[in-house]
Amino acid sequence: MKIKTVRQLEEMGQLYAGALKKQSQKVLICAGTGCVAGGSIEIYQKIKQIVDKSGLLASVELAEEKEGIGVKRSGCHGFCEMGPLVRIEPQGYLYINVKPQDCEEVVQTTLIEGKPVERLMYSWEGKVYPTQEEILFYKKQTRLVLENCGHMDAESIQEYIAKSGYKALAGALQTMEPDEICKIVSDSNLRGRGGGGFPTGRKWSQVLAQKSKIKYVVCNGDEGDPGAFMDRSIMEGDPHRMIEGMIIAGYATGASEGYVYVRAEYPLAVERLNTAVEQAREYGLLGRDILGSGFDFDVFINQGAGAFVCGEGSALTASIEGKRGMPRVRPPRTTEAGLWGRPTVLNNVETFANVSLIIQNGSEWYKSMGPEKSPGTKAFAITGNVNNTGLIEVPMGTTLREVIFEIGGGIRDGNGFKAVQIGGPSGACLTEEHLDLPLDFDSLKKVGAMIGSGGLVVMDEETCMVEVARFFMNFTQNESCGKCVPCREGTRRMQEILERIVEGKGMVKDLDLLYDIADTVSSASLCGLGKTAGNPVVSTLKYFKDEYLAHVVDKRCPAGSCQALKIITIDQDLCKGCSKCARACPVDAVKGKVRQPYRINQDQCIKCGACIEACPFSAIKEV
Amino acid sequence: MKKGTMIIDGYKIAYEGEKNILEVVRKAGIELPTFCYHSELSIYGACRMCIVEDQWGGTIASCSTPPKDGMVIYTNTPKIQKHRCMILELLLSNHHRDCTVCEKNGKCKLQDLAVRFGIKGIRFSAMPDNQELDDSSASIVRNPNKCIMCGDCIRMCEEVQGVGVLGLAYRGSKIKVTSAFNRQLAQVQCVNCGQCTAVCPTGALHVKNETKKVWDVLSNKNKRVVAQIAPALRIALGEEFGLEPGEIVTGKIVAAMRKLGFDEIYDTGIAADLTVMEETKEFTEKFKEGGTFPLFTSCCPAWVRYAEHKYPELLCNISSCRSPQQMFGAVIKEHYRNTREIDGRDTVMVSIMPCTAKKFEASRPELEVHGERDVDIVITTQELAFMIKEAGIVFNELEAESMDMPFGLASGAGLIFGVTGGVAEAVLRRCYKQKTAKTLKEIIFTGVRGMEGIKEAEIDLEGRSMRVAVVHGLNNAQKIVKLIKSGEKQYDFVEVMACPGGCIGGAGQPIPASAGTKKLRAKGIYEVDRTSQIKRSEENPMIMALYNGILQNKRHLLHVSRECHACKKE
Amino acid sequence: MLTNCQIEKANEIIEKHQRKKSALIAVLQEVQKEYRYLPEPLLMHISSEMEISPAKIFSVATFYENFSLEPKGKYVIKICDGTACHVRKSIPILNALRKELNLSEEKHSTDDLLFTVETVSCLGACGLAPVITVNDKVYAKMTPKTALELLQALQKEAGK
């Protein structure tokens, strides 16, 4: 069924909105990667089956006249920690950790009898929170880009259209010239959500100004930062919003083909995107003469093959071209010569997902949120040693404290906060003193960090910061493309030194050497990956110098996490001299005489812990 | 063309058409260090040695940044110095540093820059250098433990030569330069042109050194060591001894080789004259009687190998002539056949070539006559220079000597074989009916001379137009074959030389050889021609003597049969 | 050597992508899906069919983490070592599996080609850390113990 005019789109919107209204109750089962892993698809099928059996099922797609219950696979609700999640509308109940055996009860008690199932509700410090909106995790959020994620069927273009989807596109095609769109986007101060924060409108204007007849729109869905899954959630939960943004970008810049490059690690996102593209083609929202405007645009999905560096613009386009994903020197910029050497708009998923909001509501509205120079909202993935892990969206400028302690619910297991790693391998570790820092591009840059794609990994006092630096350096040197010398050799050497330090073989002069290498790597590397590779090292060296010194001078790991630096000792008072430990030791490091307290020769000890397990008197401890 | 003025280290420097800051800085007389920048290759930007500082303290890679009017840069700030030293230290830490016994000792860019930047110590632990050495190829040795991943060889092999047997594999610190599936060079479609060794800044790729074999035969009293010297040697060998490129040192080479102990020293140019005779005959017969065109030249062994790999269906179009090196070998071996009984000596044919593919060519079994190789040992210009230096001969002070007879006399036509367009020009000289000085000049202006990658000429041959194309660099050969196959272009005669510039730019020549060096060498070759009394191959009296002597009824010695795919199928 | 069937399958995949050189990565992905790795003779065949040099195909195939030139096990177990999983202790899971299956950093697959154990950089399921996947199915909040139990279940499923 092709939609040929804007009018037809409006009519269809009304039709489906009507059908949506007829669904007196909606059950939204989270079908994001997290909840799917927890078994949510089975829950979806079961609930659907039970509802259908009782003759209450109503579907939007069929635009049925009868009233009934809608059962939907939605995108990520965000509260991944508590998955699988089931949300019931209009009550707003959020059921957590739902299991297949709970389905009957949910249908019977809530859908049919209209009562809540209290045992499936979230509780915190003794208080039960029946609705999603009351939970602190959601209360502090402003969900705009993620508005639909978790609130509609992720595989239904009809629902998207019912929720004013593609209206921004229709408006743009009908009433705006390309340069007007570029201007609105410029005026909105929308900045790229992929890391660098480059003004999106300026990028689009640059591409529009290029004379080439062939231009491309490329969507960067290669969200490789460990600890980040915002883009995945959008692709899985609201793919049409992103596609709509791409089509508008195409119209605004004179491009007629778009490519989405998705990480291979996101099979569900690829599947949902493919479905969405098929649907959009079927409805005539992709293809020739979109909505009768004479504008042609189509979108193709490319799957990555496992290379973090492909998140870098020129590496990404090289990969789409079927080559090694190695960044190339610039100039020329991607806007001048990107994909196949043509002018290319390259933005990430979240950036494109913002576009329809700006077109519909105007740049002034957009600028009213957050700081003037980085307005709007930002999605973050909050993970690590925090109580509420998951996907959140807050206005730019929200402080780290609000995010970690209010939305995130503080540190797990009552431990103390130590640091938050922001921006993935290119980012930095921030500490207590930065907790009141507003999260926006410029404030973070001032302290040597960056938003990156928006991963926030919270670390508690049991996390060793030297080990964290080593972890990131290991990641970067594995993922370095190997082209330029500073990044290839520098990250390898930094990793080697950090490895040495966590093994207790580091020296004080190693710290200076780390600084020196990081300086050259960040100044002289070819691409962004290398230029930021030193950040985790430099930031931890800066904010956790004492911890480094403890490792190299005292050969001690204050967090108690570095295995090689642990000291195993025998409590001389508790030891009965049974010799079990000495017999268990694989390297004969335990010395002593039977019935007298044993001792461990620290030079020989390999910290394997065999003696601890062997001791019947709990006399052996690791410190 | 973009014009403007930059301020480099406080001095105003005008630029005009330079593509990047690096070129402007070099024009200003400052030698910025690089590993991966070669003007004839695409810009890679990986070594980061050419970084400069801008006025805001940022670092930019000069090789990949175009100049801008009013741009202010500094090339030698403390910051830049520090980064360059760190980069060198990082590279060296991961490099097999057995410099004193390295083939490239004294010619290594990494060594050079380490000296220049005063690297005195390396703060990192050495990496195990345990990657296998690949000496499977007849011409090239690859030592991956010395590779610095500048990618020069890869781009040379692919962009200039269109061969593409080398590539990057793996990534990050595991990255390496290798051929498909880590196969050895002899197992892939390498054409042995050796251009990779000429651009390699370190000892990771070098020409196989066979001087030991030559020393062995020179000291063996039972061997008659006969040498042939290719045309391109005489204008390049001097560079190894500090002389200018293009300076003609034929007489000094002969003198040095006599001192080294060679028994007889001849000129490959005479075999080039033979090639002209045979190839022209083949061509004119075809031209008159009809046949498949064009006729491709066969002097360049890298080109022949390339065609065998890529265009097996075209092998019939390649001249059946052996290359001059092989013709010479065949003639000498025939000349001395059955002389062992007389003086008890075996004849060893040593050829001194600007070329690495000649090593491979000489070893091809299909070129053997009576189970014997035409040419026994091939050494390059550089290897001969090694030998002269090793023997302590003060080259520059040698008195010129002349070559031996009867094979020491070549015409100018035979000697210009050493430069791109030379074979075509020599053949044209033979084809022209009128043998006047005027026609010689006419030929020069047909367009066969010069350094453009693809040259075309059209000559009136007895009322019929003969269309000639001259290409050098195998990528250009690929281009022209495509044009011919698609029918877009028709030629009668095509000269192909694998190396840019022809043999003067061969990988066996002194390195580095910039475009400027090659131009001077070409000038030298043409000077050799200009000053030679015999200009045409057929006028070389020794040629006539050969046809009336050894080669009577034995012209087949000068040819080889190439079985092409198209014929095989039939 | 290649069987006719393999050649046909490869040609089919190449045709599906209209012989476009830019589709190399997609072609390799589909070939790998078919055979669980990229056999060298098949890559040589693709090289001549797609007119891409063997060196280039090799360079692309070795660049991307997902391609394997070695045969992989029937069950490919990937342990996520993204930041979130790492701080929630994913490495002990990796070590436990490696120890159980006699694998190491160098040796990723068991000799009977039943299991391949490797790490993967962030699956984006950070909320469920630490996670592992078996042939793309995600298992959440794993511990060394649950991982070994899963392994046993898989072995049972395979009839071993």
CATH number of the domain at A352, please. Answer: 3.40.50.11540
pLDDT at A382 over 80: yes
Q: Under a CB-based contact definition with an 8 Å cutoff, are residues A606 and A594 in contact?
A: no
Computed over every residue of chain A, the mean pLDDT equals 92
| Same-domain check for residues C134 and C81 | yes
Q: How many CB atoms lie within 10 A of CB B128?
A: 8
A281 vs A246: CA distance, rounded Å = 14
Q: Which of A417-426, A479-488, B202-211 has the lowest mean pLDDT?
A: A417-426
What is the residue extent of each domain of chain B?
3-76, 89-207, 212-558
**Is residue C120 a part of any domain in this protein?**
yes
Least Cα distance to A487 among B153, B86, B169, B124 occurs for B86
Q: How many CB atoms lie within 10 A of CB B251?
A: 15
Q: Which of A353-367, A449-463, B398-412, B528-542 has the lowest mean pLDDT?
A: A449-463
Least Cα distance to B151 among A456, A484, A523 occurs for A484
A82 vs A72: CA distance, rounded Å = 19
Structure tokens, B43: 């810009």
Structure tokens, A564: 């090689």
pLDDT at B462 over 90: no
| Same-domain check for residues A347 and A390 | no
**Is residue A122 a part of any domain in this protein?**
yes
pLDDT at A34 over 90: no
Residues in A closer than 8 angstroms to B125, CB to CB, are 496
Of chain B, the end-to-end C-alpha distance in Å amounts to 55
* Radius of gyration (C-alpha) of chain B in whole angstroms: 25
DSSP A438: B
Range(s) of the domain holding residue A448: 377-460
| Same-domain check for residues A417 and A455 | yes
pLDDT at B8 over 60: yes
| Closest residue in B to A307 (Cα–Cα) | B171
pLDDT at B282 over 60: yes
> Count of A–B CB contacts within 8 Å?
105
**Is residue A102 a part of any domain in this protein?**
yes
What pLDDT was estimated at residue B231? 97
| Same-domain check for residues A407 and A512 | no
What pLDDT was estimated at residue B529? 95
Give yes or no: B366 in active site.
yes
Give residues with Cβ within 8 angstroms of B433, minimum separation 6: B462
Chains that touch C (3 or more CB pairs under 8 A): A, B
Beta-carbon separation of A489 and B82 below 8 A = no
**Is residue A85 a part of any domain in this protein?**
yes
Give the distance from residue B119's alpha carbon to the nearest chain A alpha carbon, in angstroms. 15
ipTM of the complex: 0.91
B37 vs B199: CA distance, rounded Å = 10
**Is residue C49 a part of any domain in this protein?**
yes
Query: Cα A80 to chain center, whole Å?
Result: 12
Residue ranges of chain C whose pLDDT lies below 70 = 124, 160
| Same-domain check for residues A348 and A280 | yes
**Is residue A558 a part of any domain in this protein?**
no
Check if B33 contacts A (Cβ < 8 Å): no
What pLDDT was estimated at residue B568? 57
B314 vs C12: CA distance, rounded Å = 30
Q: Under a CB-based contact definition with an 8 Å cutoff, are residues A534 and B61 in contact?
A: no
| Same-domain check for residues A247 and A361 | yes
Range(s) of the domain holding residue C54: 4-63
Structure tokens, B12: 């105003």
**Is residue C124 a part of any domain in this protein?**
yes
Interface test with B, best of C50, C52, C57, C59 (most B CBs within 10 A): C59
pTM: 0.92
A38 or A404: whose pLDDT is higher? Answer: A404
| Same-domain check for residues A215 and A345 | yes
Give the burial class of B396: count Cβ atoms within 10 A of its Cβ; 0-12 exposed, 13-18 middle, 19 or more buried: exposed
| Same-domain check for residues C38 and C59 | yes
Q: Which residues partner with A208 through β-bridges?
A: none
- Which of C63, C91, C106 delimits the end of a domain? C63
Give residues with Cβ within 8 angstroms of B358, minimum separation 6: B301, B323, B325, B351, B375, B378, B508
Q: What is the DSSP string of A112-148?
A: IT----GGGBEEETTEEE-BGGGSHHHHT---STTTT
B322 vs C87: CA distance, rounded Å = 70
Check if A453 contacts B (Cβ < 8 Å): no
Give yes or no: B361 in active site.
yes
Q: Under a CB-based contact definition with an 8 Å cutoff, are residues B557 and B331 in contact?
A: yes
Beta-carbon separation of A493 and B66 below 8 A = no
| Closest residue in C to B165 (Cα–Cα) | C55
Chain segment B463-482, per-residue pLDDT in tens: 888 999 999 999 999 999 99
| Same-domain check for residues A539 and A396 | no
Q: Which CATH number is associated with domain B212-558? A: 3.40.50.1780
In chain C, DSSP assigns E strands to 75-80, 115-120, 132-134, 137-139
pLDDT at A63 over 80: no
B520 vs B239: CA distance, rounded Å = 11
Backbone angle region of A126, left / alpha / beta, with phi > 0 → left and psi within -120 to 50 → alpha: left
**Is residue C83 a part of any domain in this protein?**
yes
Residue A75's domain is classified under what CATH number? Answer: 3.40.30.10
Give residues with Cβ within 8 angstroms of A351, minimum separation 6: A190, A192, A193, A194, A200, A245
Check if B180 contacts C (Cβ < 8 Å): yes
Quickly state the pLDDT bin for B567 (edges 50, 70, 90).
low
| Same-domain check for residues C101 and C52 | no
Q: Which residues partner with B494 through β-bridges?
A: B296, B469
What pLDDT was estimated at residue B566? 61
| Same-domain check for residues A10 and A125 | yes
| Same-domain check for residues C57 and C126 | no
What pLDDT was estimated at residue B487? 94
Q: Under a CB-based contact definition with an 8 Å cutoff, are residues A353 and A144 in contact?
A: no
B15 vs A366: CA distance, rounded Å = 46
β pairing state of A257-262 and A298-303: parallel
| HEC sequence for A283-348 | CCCCECCHHHCCCCEEEEEEECCCCHHHHCHHHHHHHHCCCCCCCCCCCCCCCCCCHHHCCEEEEE
What pLDDT was estimated at residue A54? 87
Residues in B closer than 8 angstroms to A507, CB to CB, are none
Chain segment B202-222, per-residue pLDDT in tens: 999 999 999 999 999 999 999
Q: How many CB atoms lie within 10 A of CB A289?
A: 12
Give the number of domains in chain C. 2
Task: Compute the 3-state secondary structure of chain B and give helix, strand, coil in percent, each to the nearest 5.
Answer: 45, 15, 40
Give yes or no: B210 in active site.
no
Quickly state the pLDDT bin for A133 (edges 50, 70, 90).
confident
Give residues with Cβ within 8 angstroms of A2, minimum separation 6: A282, A283, A284
**Is residue C69 a part of any domain in this protein?**
no
Determine the average pLDDT of the residues in B160-169: 96
Give yes or no: B150 in active site.
no
What pLDDT was estimated at residue C90? 87
Least Cα distance to B334 among B55, B555, B10, B70 occurs for B555
B390 or A78: whose pLDDT is higher? Answer: B390
Chains that touch A (3 or more CB pairs under 8 A): B, C
Give yes or no: B431 in active site.
no
| Same-domain check for residues A32 and A105 | yes
pLDDT at B371 over 70: yes
**Is residue A453 a part of any domain in this protein?**
yes
| Same-domain check for residues C87 and C152 | yes
C23 vs C35: CA distance, rounded Å = 18
| Same-domain check for residues A124 and A172 | no
Beta-carbon separation of C58 and B167 below 8 A = yes
Check if C46 contacts A (Cβ < 8 Å): no
| Same-domain check for residues C89 and C54 | no
Residue C107's domain is classified under what CATH number? Answer: 3.40.30.10
**Is residue A519 a part of any domain in this protein?**
yes
Name the percent of chain B lying above pLDDT 70.
99
Check if C77 contacts B (Cβ < 8 Å): no
Q: Under a CB-based contact definition with an 8 Å cutoff, are residues C31 and C10 in contact?
A: yes
**For chain B, what's the residue count?**
570
- Out of B159, B210, B282, B313, which one is annotated catalytic? B282
Give yes or no: B319 in active site.
yes
Residue C92 is which amino acid?
P
B10 or B435: whose pLDDT is higher? Answer: B10
**Is residue A1 a part of any domain in this protein?**
no
Residue A150 is which amino acid?
G
Quickly state the pLDDT bin for B570 (edges 50, 70, 90).
very low
**Is residue A81 a part of any domain in this protein?**
yes
Structure tokens, B327: 């013709």
Check if A483 contacts B (Cβ < 8 Å): yes
* C54-63 helix and C24-35 helix, angle to the nearest 10 degrees: 70
What pLDDT was estimated at residue B565? 61
Give the burial class of A55: count Cβ atoms within 10 A of its Cβ; 0-12 exposed, 13-18 middle, 19 or more buried: exposed
B63 vs A295: CA distance, rounded Å = 41
Buried b (16+ CB within 10 A) or exposed e, A153-188: bbbbbbbbbbbebbbbbbebbeebebeebbbbbbeb
Give the distance from residue B59's alpha carbon to the nearest chain A alpha carbon, in angstroms. 6
| Same-domain check for residues C24 and C59 | yes
| Same-domain check for residues C82 and C150 | yes
Backbone phi and psi for residue A78, each to the nearest 5 degrees, phi listed first: 100, -30
Give the number of domains in chain A. 5
| Closest residue in C to A384 (Cα–Cα) | C84
pLDDT at B498 over 70: yes
A43 vs A41: CA distance, rounded Å = 5
pLDDT at A203 over 90: yes
| Same-domain check for residues A136 and A262 | no
Beta-carbon separation of A322 and C23 below 8 A = yes
Least Cα distance to C64 among C32, C40, C94, C42 occurs for C32
| Same-domain check for residues A423 and A451 | yes
What pLDDT was estimated at residue C158? 85
CATH of B3-76, one of 3.30.110.60, 3.10.20.740, 3.30.2350.10, 3.40.50.720: 3.10.20.740
Residue for token pair 């529009």: A208
Structure tokens, C14: 């190449």
**Is residue C70 a part of any domain in this protein?**
no
pLDDT at B155 over 50: yes
Residues in C closer than 8 angstroms to B171, CB to CB, are 62-63
Q: Which CATH number is associated with domain B89-207? A: 3.30.70.20
pLDDT at A558 over 80: yes
Q: Under a CB-based contact definition with an 8 Å cutoff, are residues A217 and A256 in contact?
A: no
